[in-house]
Amino acid sequence: MGEQFEVLKQAEGLRKYLTLEPPMPDGVLMPRLKTIYSKPEFIRWKENAIYQLQTLKQEPIIAETIELINGFNGWSDESDFEKLLSKIDVIIRNSSDFTVEDKIENMPQTHLGKDTIIHTAFDDYKLINQIGSGGNGRVFAAQNNDGEKRAIKFIEKDSSKQKLKRFKNEIYFCEHHKHKNIVPVLDRGQAFLDGKDFVFYVMPQYADTLKDKIRTGIPADKVLDIFVGLLEGLKYAHEHGTIHRDIKPENILFAKDSFEPVICDFGIAHFSEDELLTIVETKATDRMANFQYAAPEQRKRGGNVCFQTDIYALALILNEMFTGEIPQAADHKRIETVNPDYKYLDDLFDMLFKQEPNDRLYPEVLILNELNVLAELYQREAEKEKLKATINEVIEPENFDPSIQNVYPKNGRLHITFNTVLPDEWFWILRNGEYSHMHIMGYEPTTLQKNSENEISLPLKGGESQDIIKSLIRNVKEWSATVSREYSQELKRKAIAEQRKKEEARMKEIRRIEEEERMRSTINDVLKEIL
């Protein structure tokens, strides 16, 4: 029976946590129930028990027990707990009926390679070719019975206990925690290949790694999409107590034509701490390239690997996605030198690229907030500079100076055509304005009409002499010149007033931006203190 039923045997000891809920307030008629569903001890046992049950033969009673454990909600915990103990008792007393025996000696020896068929309880997979390896793990492209593309990760069962434990944790984590930025485990099993016992799990097959995308170049706006996706994935993992330990471009996958990152290789890093330390201490530079994303605490004995360890690697990746280089020292290439529009990311990088884990900006919610704050500050600074640059920029209108182009009589009026469009406001001043002018009786400015956008006319009485016609044309010319000077001055006065109005609006906008910057900074400081 051994370790396979160890957690299930602990169920009886949970009885002491089945306790009465506090009485309801006066006036609320509800019975007091014994509950256990929300007790931390039960929750921890529940996760481990379900995992242990899933390693057994999936007989009906196993599925019923898992369903019963998941069904605790406070309303019938007392009776459900007794049912649970009964089912567990049956399972333990009949352990041999549910134990998955390793009959490796009776299994035919098969080659781990192309065209090998791998069987699980629910599907068969044909191996196509090897697409990755590291440590004791190997990854193969495969195809299932429905022709769907899959990737299968194998690890030798006689690997170190530490690596097996991490592999087990990886399978459990990815099976039970669904997130768009974390690789899902679709199936798992065990196989005897090349004279060795392997355990494996099945995941979707992805088209690219981040290393591929960095090699071909990533659009700047997509870099931010990838970075935010990685932050969201790590945030979820960290909130569920999982440290990745080996964040690097090869462990970040993408579906075809997608920029949504999927983090893989949870639980089993491609190196152990001792292996890494040996390489660092012996300065085997030809192999050290495999560990360029390792945080300082991973490179020294006694270093405390923590959630911030993943953040350090993520910072290196952020810079590399822009520059194509992996920062390793203070004189690293900065993002601003490659894309000035994203220079604010250098400030974020500096907050993450710290030697001491506790000095790194964390948790992820603070990093996301800081990213938004820095992006807004950069945009606001650019907006402020643009506003300031136009504050003293007075756009002075040109003088309005129309000239007479043609004069002809028609329908009892003297028509005068100008070389430009005559604004209605200008014509109103010409006809009704109080300005100094000469005129002939009966041919005053008030008798003018506007016939089209560039033509006006005066009435004719008939029989006007050449001198009268000459005087009329001269008068209209002088009137229009006088009015045009006054009209041009009015345009300038309006332009200055409009410019002042714009300046006031710009200064008000600058003050608003500065106040929002101050408020943002205050809120950010408060969040850092609280979180």
Per the CATH hierarchy, to which homologous superfamily does domain 210-389 belong? Answer: Transferase(Phosphotransferase) domain 1 (1.10.510.10)
Token code pair at residue 406: 């043609």
- pLDDT confidence tier of residue 183, bands split at 50, 70 and 90: very high
- pLDDT confidence tier of residue 288, bands split at 50, 70 and 90: very low
Beta bridge partners of 252: 263
Between CA 327 and CA 336 the distance in angstroms is: 14
pLDDT one-digit tens code per residue, 197-235:
899 999 999 999 999 999 999 999 999 999 999 999 999
Between CA 74 and CA 20 the distance in angstroms is: 10
Specify burial of residue 519 (Cβ count, 10 A radius: 0-12, 13-18, 19+): exposed
Res 277: pLDDT: 55
pLDDT one-digit tens code per residue, 101-123:
544 344 444 678 888 999 988 89
Q: Helix (H, G, I), strand (E, B), or coil: what is residue 128?
A: strand
Q: Which of 26-30, 54-58, 431-435, 470-474 has the lowest mean pLDDT?
A: 26-30
Between CA 137 and CA 266 the distance in angstroms is: 12
Instruction: Report, as an integer, the average pLDDT of 262-285.
Output: 61
- pLDDT confidence tier of residue 160, bands split at 50, 70 and 90: confident
Q: What is the mean pLDDT of the chain?
A: 86
CATH top-level class for 104-204? alpha beta
Res 102: pLDDT: 46
Res 355: pLDDT: 93
Q: Which of 140-144, 151-155, 247-251, 263-267 has the lowest mean pLDDT?
A: 263-267
Residue 284 clears pLDDT 70, i.e. is over it: no
Domain locations in the chain as residue ranges: 2-98, 104-204, 210-389, 404-509
Nearest to 370 by CA among 361, 378, 379: 361
> How far, in Å, are 212, 400, 417, 436, 474 from residue 404 at the CA level?
72, 13, 6, 20, 10
Res 2: pLDDT: 52
Instruction: Report, as an integer, the average pLDDT of 502-520.
Output: 77
Q: How far is CA 449 from the centre of its chain?
A: 66
DSSP conformational letter for 197: E
Res 29: pLDDT: 63
- pLDDT confidence tier of residue 286, bands split at 50, 70 and 90: very low
Token code pair at residue 156: 């030798």
Instruction: Report, as an integer, the average pLDDT of 381-410.
Output: 80
The b/e string for 173-202 (b: 16+ C-beta within 10 A; e otherwise) is bbbebebebbbbbbbbbbbbbeeeebbbbb
- pLDDT confidence tier of residue 280, bands split at 50, 70 and 90: low
Nearest to 98 by CA among 52, 147, 146: 52
Count of CB atoms within 10 A of residue 142's CB?
23
For the chain, first and last CA: distance in Å? Answer: 46
Instruction: Report, as an integer, the average pLDDT of 14-35.
Output: 80
Q: Which of 101-110, 116-125, 165-174, 479-488 has the lowest mean pLDDT?
A: 101-110
DSSP conformational letter for 107: S
Instruction: Report, as an integer, the average pLDDT of 444-452.
Output: 95
Residue 334 clears pLDDT 90, i.e. is over it: yes
User: pTM for the complete prediction?
Assistant: 0.59
Instruction: Report, as an integer, the average pLDDT of 185-202.
Output: 90
pLDDT one-digit tens code per residue, 362-374:
999 999 999 998 9
Between CA 9 and CA 1 the distance in angstroms is: 11
Phi-psi category of residue 164: left, alpha or beta, with phi > 0 → left and psi -120 to 50 → alpha: alpha
C-beta separation of 376 from 481 below 8 A: no
Instruction: Report, as an integer, the average pLDDT of 157-170.
Output: 82
Instruction: Report, as an integer, the average pLDDT of 287-307.
Output: 78
Res 43: pLDDT: 87
